[in-house]
């Protein structure tokens, strides 16, 4: 069974009725890493939001199955608890909510959902410290409110920390590499690679071939104008780096 199967997905903005996704087809098998590249505004983040269950989009056609579940039927929190994780392009700051309280609540929501026992504060702290260490995040960062006072790169690292703690089966990473310095990119890539296994699928949205040097994808897709225009192996990323998106947008590079 495929991990994720997207069939002819059309989605519009609920308020304006404007169609953004215009027939996406994509299958991710367990263990596979897929990369999506594409020009600004082509609908990559929209796809990630529709998968994560954000309000404000209307799916007008098509279907999305996650394992044996109809993903579109589930609430955002149910999708997360089923194992879908979205690393946000722009992680949200939540003043007043301590990062650790938030993450413990998230993990325990998932555990509760699966009928497992919740972790107490001590057990949780131990777990987080361990994961944070490999991402080079110190206690001072863990103590702050969710993403508050974090630099752009720190926010991205924090997304990966959450992913490591929640251990999702499908990881959608929306431009997690943007805004990272070279060292941080290496740390984040190591964090992602550590999570790679035969059961887990990944969808990396990126603008830079460089990320794919660190996280080797099995497939690369080019998205433009709300559709996947071409798919290939990782050599496609190199080709795009060279030629740009002109072939897909009808404009000169």
Partner 1 sequence: MPNDMANDNALLKAFSAAAPFDGAPDWFGAATAAGAETFETLGLPTNRTEAWKYTSLRGLGSLSFAAPSADAKAVEIPRDSVAEIQGIEIVLVNGRLDESRSALENLPVGLAITPLPQAIEFENGAVKHALQDEGAIDGLPLAALNTAGISGGVLIEVAKNAVIAKPIHIISIGTAGDEPVAFAPRNVVWVGANAQATLVESHVGVGEGSYFSNSVTHVTVEDEAVFHHYKLQNEARSAYHVAMTHVTCGEKVIYDNFALSCGAKLARNEIRGKLDGSEILYAVNGVYMAAANQHLDNTTFIEHAKPNSQSREIYKGVLDENGRGVFQGKILVQRPAQKTDGYQMNRALLLSRKAEIDSKPELEIYADDVKCSHGATVGELDDDQLFYLKARGISEHDARNMLIEAYLRDALEEIRVDKVAEAFGTKITAWLAERALREDAAS
Ligand X SMILES: Nc1ncnc2c1ncn2[C@@H]1O[C@H](COP(=O)(O)OP(=O)(O)OP(=O)(O)O)[C@@H](O)[C@H]1O
Q: Which residues bind partner 1 (CB under 8 A)?
A: 52-55, 75-77, 79-81, 86, 88, 91-92, 94-97, 101-103, 105-107, 109-110, 113, 145-146, 162, 166
Q: Find tokens 């006072």 and name the residue.
A: 149
Q: Which stretch binds ligand X (CB under 6 A): 41-49, 124-132, 137-145, 208-216?
A: 41-49
Helix (H) or strand (E) holding 85: strand 84-87
Q: Which stretch binds ligand X (CB under 6 A): 35-43, 76-84, 98-106, 239-247?
A: 35-43
Cα(164)–Cα(180) distance, integer angstroms: 18
Helix axes 121-134, 99-113, angle to 10 degrees: 110
SS3 of residue 44 by DSSP:
helix
Least Å from the CB of residue 11 to partner 1: 16
Q: Which partner in partner 1, Mg ion, ligand X, none is near 182 (CB below 5 to 8 A by kind)?
A: none
C-alpha 24: how far from chain center:
17
Q: Considering the complex, state which of residue 36 and residue 146 has its C-beta at the smaller distance from Mg ion.
A: 36
Please pick, from the candidates 4, 37, 46, 236, the single residue that binds ligand X as defined by CB under 6 A: 46
Please pick, from the candidates 20, 35, 163, 173, the single residue that binds ligand X as defined by CB under 6 A: 20
Binding mask 58-97 for ligand X (x = CB under 6 A): -------------------------------x--------
**What tokens appear for 4 in the block?**
């994720």
Site size for ligand X, by CB under 6 A?
11
Residues whose CB falls within 8 Å of the CB of residue 90, separated by 6 or more in sequence, listed in order: none
Helix (H) or strand (E) holding 2: none
Q: Find tokens 């020009």 and name the residue.
A: 39
Find residue 65's DSSP bridge partners. 5, 70
Please pick, from the candidates 45, 81, 147, 162, the single residue that binds Mg ion as defined by CB under 5 A: 45
């Amino acid at each position: 069974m495929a991990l994720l199967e997207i069939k002819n997905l059309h989605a519009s903005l609920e308020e304006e009725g404007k169609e953004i996704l215009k027939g996406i087809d994509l299958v991710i098998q367990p263990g596979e890493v897929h990369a999506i590249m594409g020009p600004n505004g082509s609908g990559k983040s929209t796809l990630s939001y529709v998968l994560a269950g954000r309000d404000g989009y209307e799916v007008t056609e098509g279907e999305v199955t996650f394992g044996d579940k109809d993903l579109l039927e589930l609430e955002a929190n149910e999708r997360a608890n089923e194992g879908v994780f979205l690393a946000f392009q722009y992680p949200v700051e939540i003043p007043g909510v301590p990062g650790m309280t938030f993450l413990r609540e998230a993990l325990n929501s998932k555990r509760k959902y699966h009928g497992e026992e919740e972790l107490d504060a001590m057990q949780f702290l131990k777990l987080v410290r361990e994961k944070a260490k490999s991402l080079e995040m110190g206690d001072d960062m863990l103590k702050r409110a969710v993403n508050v006072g974090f630099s752009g790169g720190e926010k991205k690292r924090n997304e990966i920390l959450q992913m490591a703690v929640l251990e999702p089966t499908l990881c959608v990473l929306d431009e997690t590499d943007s805004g990272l310095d070279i060292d941080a990119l290496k740390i984040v890539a190591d964090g992602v690679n550590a999570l790679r296994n035969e059961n887990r699928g990944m969808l990396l949205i990126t603008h830079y071939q460089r990320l794919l040097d660190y996280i080797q994808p099995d497939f690369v897709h080019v998205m433009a104008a709300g559709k996947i225009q071409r798919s290939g192996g990782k050599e496609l990323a190199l080709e795009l780096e060279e030629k740009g998106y002109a072939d897909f947008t009808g404009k000169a590079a």
